[in-house]
């Protein structure tokens, strides 16, 4: 039997014994959810369309390792131009640090491919097949049955299919789409290394998006780990207005602050934390808790923004 969650007054996705409870974050609706959805679909289209777009006879982004030439939006770099990578990498690193100092984890919540594909592709497949958060949890706890097996097989087959499509398009960044098509048309033995790359990458994507999910941000991503060193009191973060919200209490409780302790902000959090405990390493800035709390406040005819960008 799994160990209980730690006896602390905040939630977490890792138990005391190191195991991890699988999360079933609830759906949100609201202005940030809508804008993020549109923005993410545009980003997905951008990520996946780059190998198809031709500029000066080459794909917009083509890292042609075989010929040691890199084609970036019409600019062609040869192997002897590799010294430019120093400026590219340091420039990107500086930009990331600079943006983080100003806007916190804006990258994680709004542009990181992990968040974008997880929230707007894989979770949507899961939602379509398994239903909302309550249905998903019930299905997970339900004993084995034909219906459960069918849903599991269907969902994971789609996960693998989507992962394989992404892996092939990712491979196209390095060998071009026509070459990927040639490889796909031939037997795996004709292109062992490319086939192995594609199979391993598909497996990694499937493992990550199908199961590992928020653990990548919490346990593995070095950028997430660096957050506390990159932000200061003036950085833009998603936070809970403690002055306005505390002490928590149900509607009508004398002396209670604005927070009605409905826990909606916790239920929607994809990393399983309670933003009311302050900024935490696990927060990826997804804005779900803002929309969830705004929805509660609107229903109670109270001003929005108890949880907000600040
Ligand atoms: S959603 Fe808002 S009102 Fe509900 S518990 Fe969270 S902060 Fe409090
Ligand atoms: S605390 Fe809010 S913004 Fe941070 S990950 Fe959870 S739901 Fe997203």
Domain end point (choices 195, 225, 255):
225
Q: Say whether both 144 and 181 belong to one domain.
A: yes
What gap in Å lies between CA 196 and CA 187, rounded to an integer?
A: 12
Task: Encode pLDDT of 88-141 as tens digits.
Answer: 899 998 998 899 999 999 999 999 999 999 999 999 999 999 999 999 999 999
**Phi, psi dihedrals of residue 187, rounded to the nearest 5°:** -70, 150
Asked if residue 162 and residue 56 are part of one domain, the reply reads yes
Which of the ligands is closest to the CA of residue 298?
A: 1
Residue 285 lies in a domain: yes
Q: Per the domain annotation, does 4 fall within a domain?
A: no
Nearest CA to ligand 2 atom 5: 283
- Say whether pLDDT at 184 is over 70: yes
Distances (CA, A) of 72 to 51, 75, 275, 288: 11, 5, 40, 35
Using the mean position of ligand 2's atoms as its centre, give its distance from the Cα of residue 39 in Å: 18
| pTM (predicted TM-score) | 0.88
265 Cβ below 6 A of ligand 1: yes
Let me know whether 149 and 289 are in one domain: no
Is residue 90 included in any domain, yes or no? yes
Q: Which structural domain range is residue 178 located in?
A: 40-225
Distance of CA 134 to the CA centre of its chain: 21
Would you say residue 173 lies in a domain? yes
Q: Which residue's CA is the closest to the ligand 2 atom numbered 2? A: 289
User: Beta strand 69-72 with 61-64: parallel, antiparallel or unpaired?
Assistant: antiparallel
Residue 12, pLDDT score: 61
Could you tell me if 69 and 178 lie in one domain?
yes
Q: Assess contact for 67 and 179: CB atoms under 8 A.
A: no
Q: Both 220 and 305 in a single domain?
A: no
pLDDT at position 223: 86
The last residue of a domain, from among 225, 260, 289: 225
Instruction: Say how many Å lie between the CA of residue 265 and the centre of ligand 1.
Output: 6
Whether residues 215 and 242 share a domain: the answer is: no
Same domain? For 108 and 256 the reply is no
**Longest distance between any two alpha carbons in the chain, whole Å:** 75
Q: Examine the domain organization and report whether 192 and 83 are in the same domain.
A: yes
CA dist., res. 99 & res. 32, Å (int): 20
Q: What is the pLDDT of residues 189-227, one digit of tens each?
A: 888 988 999 999 999 999 999 999 999 998 899 888 888
Residue nearest to atom 7 of ligand 1 (CA): 259
Ligand closest to Cα of 270 equals 2
Q: For a pocket test of ligand 1, which of 241, 248, 264 has the largest count of ligand atoms closer than 8 A to its C-beta?
A: 264
Number of compact structural domains in the chain:
2
Alpha-carbon span 213 to 10, nearest angstrom: 20
Q: Are residue 216 and residue 255 in the same domain, yes or no?
A: no
Counting ligand 1 atoms within 8 A of each CB, the residue from 305, 306, 308, 310 with the most, and so the one to mutate, is 306
> Do 203 and 144 belong to one domain?
yes
Indicate if ligand 1 lies below 6 Å from the C-beta of 292: yes
Average pLDDT of the residues in 277-287: 91
| Together in a domain, 243 and 111 | no
291 and 145 part of one domain: no
Among 194, 225, 256, give the residue marking a domain's end.
225
| Spacing, Cα 10 to ligand 2 middle (Å) | 14
Beta-sheet pairing, 307-309 with 54-55: unpaired
Angle between helices 146-175 and 192-207 (to 10 degrees): 130
Structural domain includes residue 51 = yes
Q: Per the domain annotation, does 231 fall within a domain?
A: no
Query: How far does the centroid of ligand 2 lie from the alpha carbon of residue 238, in Å?
Result: 8
């Amino acid at each position: 039997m799994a160990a209980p969650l730690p006896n602390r007054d905040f939630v977490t996705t890792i138990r005391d014994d190191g195991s991890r409870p699988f999360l079933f974050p609830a759906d949100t609706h609201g202005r940030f959810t809508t804008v993020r959805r549109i923005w993410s679909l545009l980003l997905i289209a951008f990520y996946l369309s780059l190998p198809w777009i031709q500029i000066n006879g080459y794909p917009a982004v083509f890292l042609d390792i075989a010929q040691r030439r890199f084609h970036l939006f019409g600019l062609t770099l040869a192997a002897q131009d590799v010294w430019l990578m120093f400026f590219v990498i340091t420039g990107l690193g500086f930009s990331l640090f600079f943006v983080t100092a100003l806007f916190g984890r804006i990258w994680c919540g709004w542009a990181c491919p992990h968040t974008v594909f997880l929230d707007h592709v894989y979770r949507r497949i899961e939602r379509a097949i398994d239903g909302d958060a309550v249905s998903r949890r019930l299905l997970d706890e339900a004993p084995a049955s034909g219906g459960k097996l069918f849903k599991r097989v269907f969902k994971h087959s789609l996960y693998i299919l989507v992962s394989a499509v992404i892996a092939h398009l990712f491979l196209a960044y390095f060998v071009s789409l026509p070459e990927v098509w040639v490889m796909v048309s031939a037997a795996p033995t004709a292109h062992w290394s490319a086939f192995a790359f594609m199979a391993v990458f598909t497996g990694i994507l499937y493992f990550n998006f199908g199961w590992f999910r928020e653990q990548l941000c919490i346990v593995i991503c070095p950028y997430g780990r660096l957050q506390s060193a990159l932000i200061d009191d003036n950085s833009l973060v998603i936070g809970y207005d403690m002055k306005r919200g505390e002490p928590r209490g149900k509607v009508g409780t004398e002396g209670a602050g604005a927070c009605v302790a409905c826990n909606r902000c916790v239920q929607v959090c994809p990393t399983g934390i309670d933003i009311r405990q302050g900024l935490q390493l696990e927060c990826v800035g997804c804005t779900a808790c803002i929309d969830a709390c705004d929805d509660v406040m609107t229903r109670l005819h109270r001003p929005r923004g108890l949880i907000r960008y600040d």
